Amino acid sequence: MQENIPSNFTNLTHLDAQGQAQMVDISGKAATVRQAVAAAKVRMLPETLAAIQAGNTPKGDVLATARLAGIMAAKQTAALIPLCHPLPLQKITVEITPDLELPGYQIHATVKTKAETGVEMEALTAVSIAALTLYDMAKALEKSMQIESIRLVSKTGGKSGDYYLPEP
């Protein structure tokens, strides 16, 4: 019933004429190169950061495990988030950088494809799971770590054009 949908929601592509969730039909779109970058932060005590940096953690290599988890998660996005299209991902990078001022880690994921739709959700999934894995790997050292500021930093390609997160 179209009349039950607020007017500002009628252009949402994930809703059908009855207001029901639907997967967007991308069959008529051209495959183009698309890239998205997402970021997250994991805040922790300076002692926890030092232990991770020194490799003194009970579960092993925290950063390598978190990096791999982020890459694997990006490839599983369509299985995790309803209505996401499975995409052929050509490149996934996850960078985890210590930040002494935070203190903690900055996580950035870059995902690239040549497809009919973008890879924003894949990049966001990658940083989210990398952050959760970092937490899991280091929770024996500190349970009060905080995962913060998961955000899209940029996206290029596609019909809607490029997007860059404005500087604060």
Q: SS in 3 state form for 107-141?
A: EEEEEEEEECCCCHHHHHHHHHHHHHHHHHHHCCC
The C-alpha R_g of the chain, in whole angstroms, comes to: 19
> For a pLDDT cut of 70, what percent of the chain falls above it?
90
Asked whether the bond before 6 is cis by omega within 30 degrees of 0, the reply is no
25 included as an active-site residue: no
1 marked ligand binding residue: no
Q: Which of these is catalytic: 16, 61, 99, 136?
A: 136
| 96-to-27, 59, 60, 133 alpha-carbon distances in Å | 36, 18, 16, 12
122 marked ligand binding residue: yes
What pLDDT, on a 0 to 100 scale, did the predictor assign at position 37?
A: 98
Work out the mean pLDDT of the chain and round it to a whole number: 90
Convert the pLDDT of each residue in 98-133 to its tens digit: 999 999 999 999 999 999 888 999 999 999 999 999
- Rounded Cα–Cα distance for residues 137 and 44 (Å): 13
Whose CA is closest to 88, among 60, 119, 45? 119
102 marked ligand binding residue: no
Q: Which two tokens stand for residue 133?
A: 């894995």
DSSP assignment letter at 62: H
Backbone φ, ψ for residue 72 (5° rounding): -60, -40
Convert the pLDDT of each residue in 3-16 to its tens digit: 454 545 456 566 66
- Rounded Cα–Cα distance for residues 109 and 69 (Å): 12
Whose CA is closest to 123, among 110, 107, 105? 110
| Between 29 and 111, residue with greater pLDDT | 111
Residue 159 has pLDDT above 50, yes or no: yes
Whose CA is closest to 119, among 165, 53, 73? 73
